[in-house]
Every structure is written in C-alpha cells, then in structure tokens.
Structure 1
Amino acid sequence: MSSIPSLLRDRIAATPDAEAYRVPSDGGWTSLTWREVGERVRGLALGLSKLGSGPGTRVSILCSTRLEWILTDLAVLATGAATTTIYPSNTAAESAFVITDSGSTIVIAENDDQVAKLRSVQKELSDVAHVVVIDGSAADDGWVVTLDSVSDGEGDYDAMVDAIAQNDLATLIYTSGTTGRPKGVELTHDNWIYAAGAVRELDLLSGDDLHFLWLPLSHSFGKLLEVVMIHIGVPTAIDGRLDKIAENLGVVKPTIMAAAPRIFEKIHNTVVATQQREGGAKLRIFTWARKTGIRVVKARQRGAEIPVTTRLEYAVADRLVFSKLRARFGGRIRFFISGAAPLSQDIAEFFDAAGLTILEGYGLTESSAGSFLNRPDSVRFGTVGPPLPGTAVRIAEDGEVLIGGRGIMRGYHGLPQESAEALDDGWLRTGDIGELDEAGRLRITDRKKELIKTSGGKYVAPTYLEGRIKAACPYVSHVFVHGDLRNYVTALVTLDMDVVTPWAQAESLPADAEKLSGHPRMREEVEKAIDQVNADQASYATVKKFAILAEDFTVETGELTASLKIKRKAVEARHSATLDSFYA
C-alpha cells in the first residue's frame, strides 16, 4: 500500500465485518465494523472534496479524541489533502497561527465553542473557506457548515485514493513548543506506513486484542496508534475524556492501552495514598506485597533465579493485592505502552510487580512518534528498548541520539534553515542525550537543552530527579528541578489535590490548596520524599531547597504541553521570584 487511505481500503477488504471502533453511546457502547467505517469515510471524503479538499491543500482538525476525529482525518487524506492537527485546548491565537502557517483552507471544529474561538480570529483566517462543525449549527453566512451536510458526497472515491503517492504530505503536526515557537513537522504517507508496519512486524498485537484510546489524536503518538490499529486490524474503543479513563477501563476491559507517564504516576499515587490513608493491617499487607513484588521484578531484570519461597510469597501477594489492582483495569490488560515523556523506573517496577507491565517506548514527532520500544519478553526498565525494525540509531560524540530511517520527517514546514539544522545527511538530531546497552536498548538520560550545569561545572539530569521524587511521594503532581548556572539544585513542587484531599481530611488538615501548600505537615511529607531521593545522589545533584506551590502546572496556564510535559521556560518565567529566593 502507498497511502493511509489505501491501507484502510486493504483492511476493509480483509476483514469487512470485524469490529473497527467502539464508542460511548447512551450509557453503553456502540460498535462499527470496518465496512461501516469505510462507507462513512467515503461519503465524507467526497463531500469534503466538493468543499475544496484535495491534493496540495491542508485541512485543520480542532477536536478532542473521538470517532469523528479519525473519520474526518481519514476522509481528508482520501481526498489527497493533508491533515493539520490542533489541540482543542489551544487558544484562539494559537489556533490561528497553526491554521495560517499551515495554509489550511478548511477547518473541522468539534462544537460551537470551538467555532466561537475561530470566529474571534476570523479576520486572520482569510484563506479558510469553510469551517465544518461536528456538533453544532451552520451559520447564515455559509462560513460554518455541519459535518452531516458534507457526509454524502458523490464521485469516484477510488480514483482519488489511487492518485495519492507514498511521498505525498499526509500530516502537519506542530511541535508542542517546550521552547520557542511551534514548528510544523511534515510527515508523509510513507512515514506513517513505515512506522505502523514496523510495529506490526514486532507481532505484539492481533485482531483479538482490544485497544483503548484516550490519547490526543492531535499528538503524533495518538496518530501513530490510529494507523497501527488499521494496519493490524485491532478494534479500538475511543473516549478522550481523562476523567473517564478509570471507569472506561473497568467497563471496556481492553487488552492494551497507551498513555503518557503522568497517567501511570496518577494511578500509582492514588493507590499508594489510599493504602496509607486506610493504615492498619491493609497498609502492612500492601507494603509487604509491594516489597515482595519489587524483589521479584528486580530479580527478573537481573536474570536471576527466583527462590521457591519468594515465588510462594509473590503468589500470596498477587492474590491479596495485585489481582485486585488488575481487576480495576478490566482484568485483561496484556501490557501498557508509555511514551511522550520519560517514565520513572520506580513506577515501571511497581506496575510490573502487579502484572501490568509497561512497555516504554521513544520517538519524536519528527520520527513519526515510534522509533524504539521495549519488547514484552525482554523489558529493561530505565530504557526505551531497541529500535523498531528499519530504524537506525547512532550516538554522536557529545552523546546526542541520532535516528535514521523511513520514519524521519520531510522537514519543518516553511523553515529550511531549521530543517537543515535538525536533519544531518538523513539523520535526525533528536536533542536527547542517551546511550546504548549491550543488547542495543536505548537509555535516554535527558534532553540536551535541559541538562542543568551548575556553577561548579557539574551536569545534573532534571527529569530523572523529577520522576524519582514523584514516585516517592503520592501527594505530588509535578516537580520542577532547577539550578542551571546556580551553585546548587532546587525544586518547585505541586500537589495532586485529587489524591491529597482525602489524606488531608483524614489527618484533620486544611483541604484547601493554598493553606495546605504552606502547612508544616505537608512540607514534612514532601521533604521525606526528597531526602529519600537525595540519599543515593552525588552531593551536587541533590535538591537543597524546595517550595510547594499552591497551584498545579496545567496546560491552560501554559506550564504544560498538551502531552503533559513541563514547559521549562514558562515555569521559570512564571515562578522566577520563588526560584531566585532560593539563592538569595
């Protein structure tokens, strides 16, 4: 196959009546077959073609993760156009930038709220001929039309699909912009076909699996999963509502789910805090089970034989504790996949002990999201696994990870100089520092631009410390480690109020974030975690001072990217007074 639409066509021909997608519906779930998906995509593609979608054009999608995102994406691609992705949390100005920079002439918006956002910057969107709203009303001026009104087009669908070449542009994804202005990453049909085919070659998934998708489809990780499941024929249950993840897992009972590390941290912290709050025998059993499980996991990682007595203890721990945790996720999870940011090894070990192995992977938007992945039979925590088949890796003299292969982007949209800086004779400069182990697994030590160099000339990896501290204290939401060109390392800590509030109430402490952030008892809990992490660090890498903030970092305040990574410059700017006070 040469394109994503031809991939879909092949899937429909191979398994027309198999389940493709499952979506929430009137308190339950409704399924669509691949044949039904094909019919809806065909109608939408021909309707969008009449609106002007076609070869050489771009269509922006401003929508949360839901079935219509995938259907409209596939329809846009079938016309020969490229999809430009916009996070629904983006501001009007941010949305306008992506739409105008990409040259989009059509925007697909989720609802009237998103249309209102576009209306507020309509003067800047002079090239946009139509806004197609999924859940909303058409406008009298004709600028806004409904998705239903363009879902029944007529014409030669197969001819449109056949005309798409493998090197045609398929997707423009704007980088989340942890530093500077977002850049549009140009990814071709062949980029996605390669990446999805490489995952298929690993033989990890089959049509018997059930994939649960909540990740933003505006992110490259979500987009890759969309194409992978079409390629392999895996049904996907879709619901992008974060507050429904736990509930949905129990109902849908998926076998696989991918997530950003923050989701696994939240689950871990909720479980640990609940046990600590209950105390007594339950806490003692949980603590014993956790230690037993971690002991088994570490032995497996070393390749050591596990004594019979330890195996018996682990069986008891599994029956009393871990089996109940698995049941909360539906009881059928074969493995989780983690990407988009580093996963703490402590968190990975806890989940593995519970029989919920997390396969950590690695890739950039610029490499079609998937470049490395741990394999179920050879997981090594702390690494992102070996490269996917067909991906090449090289470590530069300064430790930077370079990636080569068919998954590498065409370049940055309209930015030849930045493209030349990122691409070195076909190799992608990732900006990450890493090393390869004896089995060819990659270990990422930190972002090249985010490494802290103290005034004493020592290098410190902030994300490593941040992950360790979050794993050591269940009440912590985010940690920001600071100290570049300073004489010691400090940290800002935010609280996860969903987890903290029940604990605070049980301890007769104020459940108000403002009051709790300054309470000695709360500080004691955080300090205990930081001391625990400091204990096995070199002196120059230990956190000497910290502050607990009253407000969490969020996407809305600009301190997190849409994939929940910290925007370091934004945090430094917003909290400069607090950071400076550490060194006064």
Structure 2
Amino acid sequence: MREFSLPALYEVPADGNLTDIVRRNAAQHPDVAVISRKAQGSWQDVTARDFLAEVRSAAKGLIASGVQPGDRVGLMSRTRYEWTLLDFAIWSAGAVTVPVYETSSPEQVQWILSDSGATACVVETAGHAAVVESVRETLPALKNVWQFDAGAVEELGRIGQDVTDGAVEERGSIAKADDPATIVYTSGTTGRPKGCVLTHRSFFAECGNVVERLRPLFRTGECSVLLFLPLAHVFGRLVQVAPMIAPIKLGCVPDIKNLTDELAAFRPTLILGVPRVFEKVYNSARAKAQADGKGKIFDKAADTAIAYSKALDTPSGPSVGLRIKHKVFDRLVYSKLRTVLGGRGEYAISGGAPLGERLGHFFRGIGFTVLEGYGLTESCAATAFNPWDRQKIGTVGQPLPGSVVRIADDGEVLLHGEHLFKEYWNNPGATAEALADGWFHTGDIGTLDEDGYLRITGRKKEIIVTAGGKNVAPAVIEDRIRAHALVAECMVVGDGRPFVGALVTLDEEFLGRWCADHGKPAGSTAAALRDDAELLAEIQSAIDDGNSAVSKAESVRKFRVLSAQFTEESGHLTPSLKLKRNVVAKDYAGEIEAIYAK
C-alpha cells in the first residue's frame, strides 16, 4: 500500500457557499469581465457587477415561482452563457442544480427528474421541452418548466420583479458549505445512473486548490478560458466555477463543431478539454498538410517536436542541432498550430480519458503544454493533475492539494479529501460500498511514483483475463490505437479467450480524406471498405503501434472493422463518451465470435 498527499493551498469557507463568489467578485473586481456571451456572432463581455445583477434577477424569478430552499431544479441545455447564469441563480435561490445532458432520452430525463424530485426545470429548446412534457405525468413534483429559446431568463426577470435584493441575499446565505450544491448523475456505463451529491465544500476544495496550484494560468485581468465541454459533465462545471473563483474571463460555446473559429475569435489563454479535442487538432493539421503536399514536412516537424519535448526531461536538455531544427519548424509549422489554438495560449488541461505520451510530447514540443489530469464525478472532477512547472508526461500528475491518493494492495486507487462527494442520492447501499473505511474506492487501477505522480493503468471491472490467465488492462492499448486518424473507437476483447482481439470503428471525417488519397470511390462507407486490403493494412499499422506499448501476451492478434459507429444515440457511448462495454459486447457478439473463429 502506498499513498501521497500535498498540503491544501486554499481554505474552504467554514459556512459559505458558491454564491459568495459572485458577490465577492462584484465587490472586489466590479469592472473586470468575468464572463463573455456570444450575441449576433460576436463576443460581449459581462462585468462582475453586471453578472451579479443578472444572477439576482433570475434568482428572484425562481423564488417568486415557488422554488424553496433545498429544492432540486433541473437544467437541460447545451453549454451557453445562460447555463452558467441559471446555475448561480439556482444557488442564489437556495436550491440545488440537477444537470441533464441535452442529448438525454425521455427515459433518462424521467429517471433523473423523478429520482432527484425536481420541482422545476429549465431547458434550452422546444425539443427539450417536448421531451420533458412527454414524461411529465410521471413527475408529480415538477411544477414549472422554462425554456431558454422562449425567453426563460426574461420571463424569470418579470416574475421576480417584486422580490427584493434582501430576499435574494437571505436565500443565498441559507446553504452552508456541507449542503448539496448539485446532484450530478453519473454516465452509467452499467445500470441506471446514480445521483452524485456534490456539496459547496466539494467545489471550493476542488476549484480553489486547482486555481492556486495553477495560479500563473489564472491571472485576473490577463487570462481567459473557453468552455466547450458539456456543463452536465462535472469537468465542465470545474471549467465554469474555477474561473469565477480566480476570477478570469470565461466564454461558453455549445460544442466543438466550429472550435477553430471560436478559438480564433475568443483567443483564450487556457483551454480545458478532453483528449479527442487535441487528437482532432493534430489529425486535422496533419491531414491539411498532406492535402497541400506538405505531409513529409509536417511529419518531420512532429518528430522534431516530440524529440525536443523528450529532451527537455534529460539533464543536458535538447542538443544544439535539435534546437536549430526546432527553431526552423517553429517558424514553418508550430507557430501556425498555436494560431489555430487561439494564438495566446501556452497551456491546456486535459481530462476525461488518457491523452497518450506521444501526443503530450508533441504539444509540449510545439510550445503548447497539455497538462493531463484525472478525476471522476465523485471527486468533483480533478483529483490529480500535472503542475504547470513540474509536468511528467505519461502521468496524470500529483494529488489535488489538500487530498490524499492511496494505492491499495490490489492496485485500486483510493481517494480522501474535502472535494469528494457526500453520497449517492437515495442510494445508501451504493454510498456505503463506494466510501468504505472512509476512502472513496474509484475502481481504477494505478501506481504512484516516488514523487507522488499517479499513473492510471486500467479499471478493476474492465480487466480482461485471457484463457491463459493473463490480466490485460484495455485502456493502454486502446488509447494508442485510437490515436490513429482513421480510428474513431476501439474496444479490446478477449475475456476467457485464447488471445486479445479488438473491434474498431472508423472516423467518418478522415475516411473521406483517406479514400481521396488512396484512389477509393468518393463517398465510400465503412461498410464498403471494411474488407479492403489497403484500409486493413492502415488499421493494422494502428494496431501495431498499440501493440508496441504492451507485452506480447497483451497485444491484439486479430481485429474486426465495424460498419457502424459507437455513438451515444446507438447506446454504445455514455454522454461523456465512455464505452459501454457490456452493450457493445452484446450487440456485436457475432463480430467478436468472428475474431475467434478457426
């Protein structure tokens, strides 16, 4: 058993709650832009003073409509300014926010709103309103539903005209640090989602310590962050609350479809994203270079960036020759890539899944360091992350200051700290199991080095045991295979089988480019090409790269390219894009059998 901890850098207010942040910012930084909204195609800054006024106005409407202290209020929307506004307004009314993914099915919406006992719900679109309406007869506690696209914010302002500022101040001070701030329903790779109760203390301990440990990235009046992660996910909430604590300017966009344009317009100094975002940036840049006849130059530049980054970790550092090559490629390639990322930033934080060492070295080598972290809904997002000044690529960093990471005798990662969740809503059995002996049992397998840097090597429940008795952690090899531009998803199989196999889906965006480069008919689908010799050879190269990261007994011997995609809509991915392995295994049982057919 091994454990590591760091002293806390942020003192959690004894009796405060998250509404204190908005009032403090308005008092201490009234004219500082703390958030920016997109209106008519351009960004409009909102000062701390004006944001407080808008939060109060919406909170007055909630109070006037009958929302009581401790009531749960659903929030179903894409990431946008109004989401953040309503989150703080709900807290200011003394209530508890219950996020709902905007892609949720009627069954999921019904479960979350009924299990939480939500008395009100704010949705984004008419489609969302229709989903809630379709299950409303099963939600007796639900009294009010408002819609952003139908003027919910303005409507709440009108409803609450007779409520005084003093009434909002009184409501906003009711919740204490250990009271629930939100109930975040876990994605649920198996079974129904559990409602994870995160307190105001959880967010203070989490976000306050993240900001203080990464203080050079959170300089008030200088720094900014663009939020494009779903706010129904706890990582998105970290990206929302931490800038408010700093404070630095926060911008919100609904998705990553036009991310390059949004980055160019907003020009953030800090980006927080998931590995797929950084993979897309790399793959898109490489594909564009190839289309322009500069593929070889890009590949040499990438190799130089990786070598340069690795050399930074050696006592002697990069050689003179490597420094010269790096300087040349900085002018030709790296500076253009940094411009794609907004042009002002030097750092990003990545979480949600492993980034991969090659990609980590590539980005640091081009002058844009991606600090990898690790966390869960139950840990209020990051429970470990790489410090800005002492990064160890390939690890998820050191524990959140003020918390403890322990590795149990069986390799499971255990957590302790103020940032942890309080309980699973209405589920004491699951709570007792997860918080046994005062430690949160993550279900992840990992190791700690002598400096307290954590490596995650797999999931306890996802460990594959082959017929030969070899234990295989799928995450390591899957992440390497998925790094290939043509691969969308990869799932390793082989439990009780003679060897390890894999199911692979193709990235539809890059499939078209690959077809054009290899003389395949335009518009060719995965179904048409799944047995194509050239395509199989390309996927085999991705498999070979994955196999290089593991032992021979853990390596993929055979794979199958699938005709369809793993998506949230198909039921194979959670809203946070994690594989539902049991569902995939069931739906593609025939493909798995084909891997092992003699």
Q: TM-score, normalised by structure 1?
A: 0.96
- Which residue of the partner structure matches residue 503 of structure 1? 514
- Which residue of the partner structure matches residue 201 of structure 2? 190
Give ranges in structure 1 of 5+ residues lacking alignment: 139-143
1:26 Cα deviation (Å)?
1.1
Q: Quick one: structure 1 residues 172 and 303, their matched pair in 2 at CA, closer, same or farther if it must change by over 3 Å? A: farther
Equivalences for 1:400-439 in 2 at 5 Å?
Answer: 400-439=412-451
1:146 Cα deviation (Å)?
4.7
Equivalences for 1:21-170 in 2 at 5 Å?
Answer: 21-136=35-150, 146-147=155-156, 149-150=158-159, 152=161, 154-155=163-164, 156-170=167-181
Correspondence for 2:273 among 229, 236, 259: 259
> Does the aligned pair in 1 maintain the 2:515–2:524 contact within 8 Å?
no
Per-residue deviation, residues 457-496 of structure 1 (Å, max 9, x unmatched): 111121111111122x211111111112211111111111
Correspondence for 1:352 among 357, 364, 389: 364
- Which residue of the partner structure matches residue 271 of structure 1? 285
- Which residue of the partner structure matches residue 292 of structure 1? 304
Correspondence for 2:238 among 205, 208, 224: 224
Equivalences for 1:364-513 in 2 at 5 Å?
Answer: 364-471=376-483, 473-510=484-521, 511-513=523-525
Q: Quick one: structure 1 residues 545 and 19, their matched pair in 2 at CA, closer, same or farther if it must change by over 3 Å? A: same
Q: How many residues in Structure 1 have an aligned counterpart in Structure 2?
A: 576
Instruction: Provide the C-alpha distance between the structure 2 equivalents of 1:164 and 1:536, rounded to a whole number of angstroms.
Output: 49
Per-residue deviation, residues 330-355 of structure 1 (Å, max 9, x unmatched): 21112111111121112212211221
1:367 Cα deviation (Å)?
1.0
Helix, strand or coil at the partner of 2:188: coil
Per-residue deviation, residues 276-326 of structure 1 (Å, max 9, x unmatched): 4444xx222222211111111112234442211211111112111111111
Instruction: Provide the C-alpha distance between the structure 1 equivalents of 2:100 and 2:188, rounded to a whole number of angstroms.
Output: 13
Per-residue deviation, residues 377-412 of structure 1 (Å, max 9, x unmatched): 211111110011101111100000111010111110
- Which residue of the partner structure matches residue 544 of structure 2? 531
Correspondence for 2:589 among 566, 576, 580: 576
Instruction: Provide the C-alpha distance between the structure 2 equivalents of 1:152 and 1:191, rounded to a whole number of angstroms.
Output: 33
RMSD: 1.7
Q: Quick one: structure 1 residues 147 and 512, their matched pair in 2 at CA, closer, same or farther if it must change by over 3 Å? A: farther
Helix, strand or coil at the partner of 1:290: helix
Calculate percent identity across the aligned residue pairs.
Answer: 39
Q: Which has the higher contact order (CA 8 A, sep 6+)?
A: 2
Q: Quick one: structure 1 residues 567 and 146, their matched pair in 2 at CA, closer, same or farther if it must change by over 3 Å? A: farther
Helix, strand or coil at the partner of 1:59: strand
> Does the aligned pair in 2 maintain the 1:45–1:153 contact within 8 Å?
no
Q: Quick one: structure 1 residues 133 and 293, their matched pair in 2 at CA, closer, same or farther if it must change by over 3 Å? A: same
Q: Quick one: structure 1 residues 367 and 318, their matched pair in 2 at CA, closer, same or farther if it must change by over 3 Å? A: same
Correspondence for 2:261 among 242, 247, 256: 247
> Does the aligned pair in 2 maintain the 1:130–1:145 contact within 8 Å?
no
Helix, strand or coil at the partner of 2:148: strand
Helix, strand or coil at the partner of 1:582: helix
Helix, strand or coil at the partner of 2:461: coil
Instruction: Provide the C-alpha distance between the structure 2 equivalents of 1:191 and 1:535, rounded to a whole number of angstroms.
Output: 40
Q: Does 1:558 align with 2:571?
A: yes
Q: Which amino acid aligns with 1:541?
A: E
> Does the aligned pair in 1 maintain the 2:372–2:386 contact within 8 Å?
yes
1:147 Cα deviation (Å)?
4.5
- Which residue of the partner structure matches residue 546 of structure 1? 559
Q: Which amino acid aligns with 1:65?
A: T
1:503 Cα deviation (Å)?
2.6
Instruction: Provide the C-alpha distance between the structure 2 equivalents of 1:9 and 1:505, rounded to a whole number of angstroms.
Output: 56
> Does the aligned pair in 2 maintain the 1:173–1:220 contact within 8 Å?
yes
- Which residue of the partner structure matches residue 332 of structure 1? 344
Instruction: Provide the C-alpha distance between the structure 2 equivalents of 1:269 and 1:276, rounded to a whole number of angstroms.
Output: 10
- Which residue of the partner structure matches residue 141 of structure 1? none
- Which residue of the partner structure matches residue 528 of structure 2? 515
Q: Quick one: structure 1 residues 385 and 157, their matched pair in 2 at CA, closer, same or farther if it must change by over 3 Å? A: same
1:426 Cα deviation (Å)?
2.3
> Does the aligned pair in 2 maintain the 1:108–1:134 contact within 8 Å?
yes
Per-residue deviation, residues 16-37 of structure 1 (Å, max 9, x unmatched): 1111111221121111111111
